[in-house]
Every structure is written in structure tokens, then in C-alpha cells.
Amino acid sequence: MSKPIVTYDEVTKSFGDVEVLKGINLDIMPSEKVAVIGPSGSGKTTLIRMLMTLEQPTDGAIIVDGENLWQMEEKGRLVDADEKHLSKVRGDIGMVFQHFNLFPHMTILENCMMAPVQVQKEDKKSARKRSIEMLEKVGLGDKLDNFPNQLSGGQKQRVAMARALVMRPKIMLFDEVTSALDPELVEEVLEVIRDIALEGEMAMVLVTHEMEFALDIADRVLFLDDGVIAESGTPSEVIEHSQNERLQSFLRRFRS
């Protein structure tokens, strides 16, 4: 068996006095597709934001590809990671946000090219070529010079995915990427995610309310409830055969 690409080891997170995550233990394998479901406020977003280094865990450790993400060794002691350490480790991780967060002052192409050129020091020509290919792949090859505010929500979200993908992450995080979209635009975005998933090599963590979709592409489903992973297993184990009372009522609310 190969080693996990990400490990959560007894990770907790509190905001003030409120303990939002209460001891998360989780292994994610390379190329594994993990769907995270759960009621609003159960900590799904917080769970993946900690991996993207947008939120610091209160306790515990997150290991990415063998490296401790939030801590580093200094004179033989573990100390909080500095920006340099964080930037080294998070290079493997990409994220797509609920509200796209495209850069409004740049064209679609510039949105995609900027990080490969600035962060990975790729030369402009090749970054441009790869960005165009990626934008074509998500069906936006004809919008290269448009600005984000000239696109529909579904198109924006597809740009956001292309922008993350050109960085060639080993792990991609998706935080309810369709929930800010008009219903008729959801399918085009799910379609792209499905394509990426089928290519296979990247690990993916999807926080989603799209049950059917999760069932379809995930290798594993986590049910997060009240700050703990209350259920974990294959989609059919979790969604169809679980005995967990709270999970059942959560699913029932969805189906109605």
C-alpha cells in the first residue's frame, strides 16, 4: 500500500470558546476522491481550509506528503510554521472556492497564467500555452481575453478550476463549488469536476451538497457531524446502508 498524501492527526479547531472540530483523524491516499457531507456548521469548510493554510489548527498535526504543514523544526523544537515553510508545503495543494474568487482586474487568461509565472517561475510562453489548453479543456477557449465580470457563474467557476489546475496540484480542494450557482449552471461545473476525477492522478476532497454526484465520483464519503467524522466509508455504505440516526435524518432532509 502506498503512503497517504494527507494525514490529519487528532486535529482540533476552536474559534474563541467554540470547538468546531473535535479531534479529526483522517488519511487521504494519492488519487483518492473524498466527498465530505454534513449539516451546515458541522465544520466541513474549516476542515479543508486548514489544509489550504487559510486557518490554523488549534491542536494536532496535518501531514502533507510526509511534511508537517503547520509546524517546523527549529533548534530541535517544533514551532509554528513561518510563511516560508507554509509556502513550501502548500505548493502541492489547490483550492476552488464557493464564490470563485477570480481576480477581477485580470483577463481569464491572465488569471490562469499569473501563478505559474510568478510562483513556479515558468516562462511566459509555456505558461500561456498550458493555460490556454486548460481553459479549452474546461470549455472556455473562446473567452481568453474576457474579464471575469463578463462571464456567467458557471463559466467563472470553470475558470477558477483551470486556474487551480495549471499549478498541477497533487491535492485539489472543492468547497461547495456549485452552491452559489443558478440551478441550470450546476451541471456544466459538475461535468468538469467529473472529467478531472476520471483522469485520476490527483487526490480530491469535495465538500458538497450534491449527493448524487458524490455517490457517483467519490471513492469514499465522510459524514461530518458536530465536529467529528461520524461516518466514513464507500458511497453506498454511507449513503445507502448506514445505521447512523443523524446521518439518516440528514439524508432524508435532502431527498425531500
Partner 1 sequence: MRGMGITLTVLGGSIILGYLMAFIAGFCRLSNNTFIRKFTGFYVEIFRGTSLIVQLFWFSYALPMLFGIELGSDLVAGILAISLNYGAYMSEIVRGSILSVSNGQTEAGIALNLTPFQRMRYVIFPQALRMMLPEFGNYLIQMLKATSLISLIGMTDVLYYGNLLRSSNLAIESTVYLFILIFFFIIALPLIFLTRKLEEISKKGVET
Ligand X SMILES: Nc1ncnc2c1ncn2[C@@H]1O[C@H](COP(=O)(O)OP(=O)(O)OP(=O)(O)O)[C@@H](O)[C@H]1O
DSSP code string of 111-142: HHHHHHHHTS---HHHHHHHHHHHHHHTT-TT
Report, in Å, the least distance between residue 249 CB and ligand X: 16
For the chain, helix, strand, coil in percent to 5 are: 40, 25, 35
Between CA 35 and CA 27 the distance in angstroms is 13
* Per-residue binding letters, 22-51, with Mg ion (x by CB under 5 A): -----------------------x------
Of 134 and 221, nearer to Mg ion (C-beta) is: 221
- Interaction of residue 164 with partner 1, rule CB under 8 A: yes
Q: Write out the binding residues for partner 1, residues 25-54 only, by CB under 8 A.
A: 52-54
Task: Give the dihedral of Cα atoms 68, 91, 24, 252; nearest 10 deg.
Answer: -170
Among 7, 26, 45, 177, binds ligand X (CB under 6 A): 45
Strands (DSSP E) contained in 65-192 are 67-68, 71-74, 77-80, 93-96, 171-175
Written as nine digits, the cell of 156 is 467563472
Report, in Å, the least distance between residue 77 CB and partner 1: 24
Among 4, 43, 57, 94, binds ligand X (CB under 6 A): 43
Of 4 and 43, nearer to ligand X (C-beta) is: 43
Residues lying near ligand X in the complex (CB under 6 A) are found at: 15, 20, 38, 40-46
